[in-house]
Chain A
Amino acid sequence: MKWLRRLALWVVVLMVLLLVWLFFGGRHQPTSPAMSKFAASTLRDPALIAKGEYLVTVGDCAGCHTAQGGAALAGGRALATPFGDIPVPNITPDPETGLGNWSFEDFWQALHAGRGRHGELFYPAFPYTSYTKVNRDDALAMFAYLKSLPPIRQAATASSLAFPYSIRRSLLGWRALYFKEGVFKPDPKRSPQWNRGAYLVQGPAHCNECHAARDSLGGTPQNEHLSGGQIPMQNWYAPDLSMQSNGGLQGWSEQDVVDLLQTGLSAKGAAFGPMADVVVGSTQHISRDDLQAMATYLASLPPRAAAAEQKSAPVAAAVIEQGEKVYSQHCAACHRKDGSGVAGVYPPLDGNSSVTEPSGMNATRMVLLGGFTPLTAANPRPYSMPPFAQQLSDSEVSAVVSYIRRAWTNHAGVVRPEDVSRYRHTPID
């Protein structure tokens, strides 16, 4: 039995060593601004700052780093994830609570390698999985812009992550599975425009962080590129962005993509929910050339496999009949009897990927919440849709959503009243 005791002792010693390493290992010394290879005067170049402001807008940094009613980019809010709340840091140049004491070397390590200035591993709520593709020149411009902001003193909120996620080193495994460090490499076989679009979509604009499905560990498998997925915690479905056969944007032209990103509305659909915020805060400010480049890249995404026939229960004719009745009473005046919408005002529902996306949650929540199309420079007085949460019961909403998902050329599955009830209670953030 002596050997057993000795083995147990070794196991204990190894575990202690592992714990010590988990908590104290791998420390890294930050680079102070004085020691940086990039002089403060370099960072004060107005042209560099202007370029950085544009890229920070493309990256919609304010979308997460600005709290409701708070100072721009000063953090002070938490991001809800299935693993707990993650505090969003202040990225204004305040020395104590922000980036004031950061050098560009520190910033590059954060953006490119997903590590803090002391070497700590960042939670991937910060999308370094995409930002790693941002090139060094662009990162320097972004940093120069952030450094040029008025410093705001605001400490981060507390984290509510549960064990084992509360231990940052537990991310080593996650990173091995889902994170590939590396700047975007242009494809010499493609046009400069395609490469620019691919860079923006994959890098700074980090589209894949929402438009791909996340698995149970919160990662997007490497082969799932822009193929659509449910946004964690939000009950919105970010559609597949392929414009070819069976893609979520099948039938869209490159102009439709540019229109949606620039104005919030295209001939094929409208931005709403979280994408409306992205259009208002970010994409409407992207230059026409860059939007065109992004559209060119999206047009090259491969066709998708046809969806398997849904083996759901046969749809009760009575439900569809009820849905058609609700539709003609509440929806047809704007979206038209044939689901074609009104150009430039109300989006079509026929062939609209937000209506037919796999989950049905987008159409359901649109019916419940209504709302304005994005307010953009091109559409400063948008039209809106009434919220029907108060007027329609769960069964009425399920009937009308099921109806529009199967009417005209649409062939999507039905939505049940219990799904509607669930989406009714999704917090709106």
Chain B
Amino acid sequence: MIRAQHRLATFFGATVLCALVQLLGWPARAASAPAIPDTLQQRIAACTSCHGVHGEGTPGSGYFPRLAGKPAAYLVRQMQNFQNGLRKYAPMEYTLRQLSPAYMQEIAGYFAAQQVPFTRSPLPPVSAATLLRGEQLVSKGDAARHIPACASCHGSQLTGVQPSTPGLVGLPYDYISAQLGSWRTHTRAALAPDCMAVVANRLGASDITAVAAALASRQPPVDTKAQAAGSVTPPLPCGVLGASGDGA
């Protein structure tokens, strides 16, 4: 009986001691620091802090573009362009400078596979006439100035075309206007012949505002997946598309 009591007391004491140790946080490190998950998402914190954990972009900031659902080959090519200097943006060049083709492929695959709802970002005040002009450029282009419609390459719903043409819906106004501007100032380029450089240089300064506002204010369609490869015939020769097109 006494021995049983003693055993019980020993057991009880040990339990209390264990609980105390846990409460006092010893070993503190194990208690206070959750393990680091061995996932790609954890590894690419440098990407997701601006572009969002699922590549949703940061609509509030109005600048960092959405990556979710963009064709993987397009994303890989953009990373390569930051490495080789075709695209100039110091923070991206610094972050990507030493990544391998295999790792970039894996990262692009991660963002291409993400499906997250679109959020519209803030729009500067633009007139109805500007929006109308923008809408016209997006869906019809401007034949007099040889400007093709955005939709003629980026897909009828502007959700992009596999494998190398990005979607334009859901991108912030600031981002779109900055990119069109950067094609004119040679801080963004694509493989020659660079069709986007041709288009951006045919646009007037007010057209950039108009088209960026029209795109950023568009309601994304229900199906936001990029169109199938080969489903559009580009009106200009484009290096990234194997230079097909009628050369207009």
Contacts and interface: CB of A to CB of B under 8 A. Distances in A.
Contacts of A386: 45-46, 48-50
Contacts of A391: 49
Contacts of B29: 336, 338, 340
A284 B42 CA distance: 24
Interface in A315-348: 333-334, 336-338, 340, 342, 345-346
B86 interface: yes
B45 A369 contact: no
Interface in B1-38: 28-29, 32-34, 36
B94 A369 contact: yes
Contact of B91 (A276, A369, A375, A383): A369
B215 to A, nearest CB: 23
A388 B91 CA distance: 11
Contacts of A280: 98
A116 interface: no
B211 to A, nearest CB: 26
Interface in A387-415: 387-391
Nearest to A335: B33
Nearest to A280: B98
Interface in B193-225: none
B127 interface: no
Contact of A372 (B36, B40, B42, B99): B99
B172 to A, nearest CB: 14
B233 to A, nearest CB: 31
In this complex, which of B32, B33, B42, B84 has the most chain A Cβ atoms within 10 angstroms of its Cβ? B33
Nearest to A67: B85
B106 A428 contact: no
In this complex, which of A277, A334, A383 has the most chain B Cβ atoms within 10 angstroms of its Cβ? A383
Interface in B75-118: 83-86, 90-91, 93-95, 97-100, 102-103, 106
Contacts of B99: 372, 375
B146 interface: no
Contacts, number: 86
Given A342-B36, A372-B46, A69 B84 contact: yes
B43 A69 contact: no
A390 B61 contact: yes
Interface residues of A, number: 34
A427 interface: yes
Contacts of B45: 334, 370, 383-386
Contacts of A360: none
B132 interface: no
A383 B42 contact: yes
Interface size class of B (residues with CB under 8 A): 20 to 34
A329 B185 CA distance: 39
A384 B46 CA distance: 5
B126 interface: no
A389 B43 contact: no
A427 B83 contact: no
Given A68-B85, A371-B95, A372-B99, A382 B43 contact: yes
A389 B98 contact: no
A372 B98 contact: yes
B103 A375 contact: yes
B108 to A, nearest CB: 14
B44 interface: yes
Contacts of B94: 369, 371, 428
In this complex, which of A69, A381, A390 has the most chain B Cβ atoms within 10 angstroms of its Cβ? A381
A173 interface: no
A78 to B, nearest CB: 14
Interface string A354-377: 000000000000000111101100
B36 A334 contact: yes
A82 interface: no
B43 A374 contact: no
A410 B13 CA distance: 40
Contacts of A390: 50, 61
13 contacts: A276-B98, A280-B98, A336-B32, A336-B33, A337-B32, A370-B45, A370-B95, A371-B46, A372-B98, A372-B99, A383-B45, A387-B46, A428-B91
